[in-house]
Structure formats: structure tokens, C-alpha cells
Amino acid sequence: MVSLNKVLELNKWWTKGGEFANEDYDLLSYRNSIIKLQRKELLPLLKPGSIVIIKGPRRVGKTVAIKLTIEKLISEIRISPDDIFYFSFDETISQKEFENLLRDFLSKVHSGSTYIFLDEIQAVRGWQNTLLALANSGALADTAVLVTGSIAHFLGTETLPGRGTEGNIYYLRTSSFRDFVISVLNNFHSNTSALSYLLGYNFSPSEPADMLETLSNTFVSLEEDLREAHKSYLAIQKYFIPLSKMFDLYLLSGGYPKSISYILDRSEPKPPSTFYEEIYNYIKNDAATITSPVSGDPAKASKTISAVLDLVGNKISYSKIAQKMAMNKATTINYLHRLENSFVFIELNGVKSFKNELREISAKKFYFSDIFMHYSAGAAQTGKPGSEYTKELVNSSNVGMLVEEIVAGHLIRVKESDPMKLYSTYIKFYEGSREIDFIYKKDSGRSIGIEAKYQNEASIQDVKRVAGVDEYLLLTKSSGISIKNNTMVLPVCLFLALLSSSKHNL
């Protein structure tokens, strides 16, 4: 049974008002961090009578985003602290206990609109039925409800039919490279010497601010004409050196806020082994939490992660993974989908040319959705310290595969919205005598072949052309940008620095 003490502990603003922020662990950790990552605000999403769902892996900042929103509601919007309820489901509670929590809060006298924040809701079986019943009864007419969770399976639009959650489902993933760059510039642009020291690049006094303004106002969505995109890349080409140095850092940190802070802390520039272990335990155990139809086994989740770790970016089949895992095919598919549902894996389908059009085939490719998940899994599987494993991998011939994995983690966000544009509908890979890392399908129906070739010697002559693909991007390590007809070559750091995410990626 949920104790009153726990409710009061989680809702300190009821007694302390806006002063709660001065002692809240999450907000203090955020404010003491080396860098404040730029995220879209949650406040504009919250409307009376609405139910907003935010999906994303653990440790990406969902709780911090909620606490910052609560602080703003109290200090800026002047919402009474008594009208705001928060609960974090760090352990399983019954549906009845969940209903009692909400009804108890709603039964109190409120001065106006109320706000309910339900963090990591997947611990509550049947939570959607309770919310649906309350909404249908009119009890939530003046209430904005925000739900977060790290398992997509429990947070689909089908969970609340008829409640208008379509369009109110968002993703909070790890930080993209664009977020990373803009955050670094925002945090350091007024301290040029510190930024120069951080990157090993001698900035002129006005350069960081100019760079920030240019990047903030320039982006590419992949829907535009290739020559229009070319103009945008040329506009930031002069910043290639600092962007490439930032990409070197991002290659070590991935997009977790805490790992980024560690990498940017020049006094001790590496995440401790405990953080790698923490992330690995989350990604393994969340996959086991999913009930489909029964709860999973962390050992089988770990075995699945180990199998994919050796096959990242390779063309593969379910049968081959099952063989590697020594498990039957049905169980293998179950755990692969569990790990995709908990935001660990990206699963891409293959396509092939048939009479000048692309058709889907059975081949698959898997990537970790964030490079730090890859490092955490690899460290756990090999027994090496996380930072040691990371540096060995980054400094090996496998760095090209890591860059390809980072590109995959960015491409899935470009049009992502639930349920109409899941990434599987617009990102594929090309399988054939000429393989292409990614095929991006535009809204117009045209396709772009995207190849990551992380080396300095790549050129337009290296582009693989196949029937059914209309345009090509070759992403390289070098600084040069070139375009000819329907093909462009450019540095991967410039590509990622300008790549926009959908409005449903926060």
C-alpha cells in the first residue's frame, strides 16, 4: 500500500511551495551539472482535459523535465502548489492503489486547473483503464495529465481509445548531436577561453556566439531538395573544425545527459564504471519487465543483447540470431521486440530493387538506439571497465560502424510520431550486390540512399547507385562538400549538426 509519507515526500511543494526546488535531488543535480542540455518545454503541451504521453528510455531527463515544469507552474504561471500531483512508480502497485491515489488528489478542493504527473507508469498494470474511466466520468475535465514511461508497448495510442491522445504522444530520447552542439555553445559561448580549452580549438571572441546563432537558425529535414540542403551545409562549413572536435566528444559520450556531463568535465573526463553498469541494468531489466504474455527473464534479455552486440549494422535474420543465442526463433523474436520496445534496439527492414521500385525483404539490421547503450552492454559482456572498452572501440577499425550506428539513431527521429509515422515506415536499408546503409523515404515518395563512410578519401565516385533510389548522401570524415546531379558528399558532423527531429521528439 502506498504510504502517505511517500506521497508527501514526492510532492514537497504542497508544504514548501516553490522553495521545494532548493532541495529537490533531481533539480539540484541538473543545476550542478557541467552542461544544461537543450530540450523542448513540456508546459505548452499541457492543456486542461488532455492526456500527454512521453516515451523514452530511462536516464534521459524525463523526471528532470517534469520537475522543471512543476517549478514553472508554481513560480511563473502561479498555479497553487496544492493543485499539482506527482508520483514516480519505482515499484509495482496495484490498479486499485493507483485509482485511490488519483481519486484522493482529485477529491480535494482545487482553485482552478489541476496537473497530474505520472512518472514511469509501466509499473502499474491497467493504468490506462483507470485513466480512461476517470476521463469518461468527467473527473479530468479540468486536469492536464502527463504520463511518462520507458516501455513503448505500454504507452501506445491504443491504451486510451477515444481520449484524443493521437497527436499527444511524444518521445524524449537521448540527446542528438545537434542538441549536444547547441547545448555546448549555449553553456560556453560567453566563456570563449573555456570552450577553446574544452575543444582544443582557438575560437575568436565572437565566433562561438556567431556559430550558435547560425546553427540555431539553420536545419535540414531531408524533405527538401538536395540543392537547398547543400546551401545549408555550405553555411556552416566554416565551423567544420570545432564541429568535428565536438563530434569526437559525442562519439565518447553518446546522448545521455550524465555521460555528456562527465565527458565535458575536463577535471575527470570519463563516466565512472558505475554509470555504465547502471545503464546496462536498466536496458536489460526494462526488457524483462514487459509482459507479453508473461514477464521476461533478465538473463534472456542479456543473452539477446550479447548476440546483437556482435552483429551491429550487419545484415541478419531472426533465424541466425536465434542460432547464435541457442534459443528457439519465437523466443528470440520476443526478446528482440522487448528490447526495441524499451528503446534499446533499432530494428531496420531491408529493401531490394524490383523493376525500378523498392520492395521490402526479410533481412534485418540492428543497432543500439544510443551509442552509450552499446558501450554499456559491451563493457558488461566483456567485463572491462566502461571507459576502457569505449576508448578501445572508438580507436579501433570499428569506429566506422559506431558512426553508422549514431547516424541510425538520428535518422529514426526525423519524422517520428505515433502512430502514423513510426521509424519503420520511412527508414530501411538496401540489401543486394550493392548495399546501402540507409534508405530514407520522403513524404513525396522519393528515396534517399544514405551511406556512412567515416574516412577522408571518400568521394562521389564511391556512391553506390541502385534502381529505385532517387538521391544519394555520402557521409564522410573529411571537411569537403561536393554535389553533382542527385548526389552529395559531406562530413557526417555537418550532416548531424543540422539534422532536424520531428516536433514529437522533445
CA 30 to chain centre: 18
Q: What percent of the chain has pLDDT over 90?
A: 76
Higher pLDDT, 277 or 169: 277
Query: Among 98-107, 121-130, 246-255, 293-302, which is the least confidently predicted range?
Result: 293-302
pLDDT tens, position by position, 364-396 = 999 999 999 999 999 999 999 999 999 999 999
> Given pLDDT bands bounded at 50, 70 and 90, which one contains residue 151?
confident
DSSP for 405-452, written as a single string: HHHHHHHTTSS-BTTTB-GGGTEEEE-SSS-EEEEEEPTTS-EEEEEE
Give the Cα separation of 119 and 491 in Å (integer): 39
Fold of 4-171: Rossmann fold (3.40.50)
pLDDT tens, position by position, 265-319 = 877 778 999 999 999 999 988 877 765 556 678 889 999 999 999 999 999 999 9
Domain with CATH 3.40.50.300 in the chain: 4-171
Give the Cα separation of 496 and 247 in Å (integer): 9
* DSSP secondary structure code for residue 490 in this structure: E
Give the Cα separation of 367 and 427 in Å (integer): 13
Give the Cα separation of 119 and 320 in Å (integer): 38
Strands 169-171 and 114-119: unpaired
Query: pTM of the prediction?
Result: 0.95
How far is CA 197 from each of CA 192, 267, 479, 506, rounded to the nearest angstrom? 9, 12, 22, 30
Give the Cα separation of 304 and 313 in Å (integer): 15
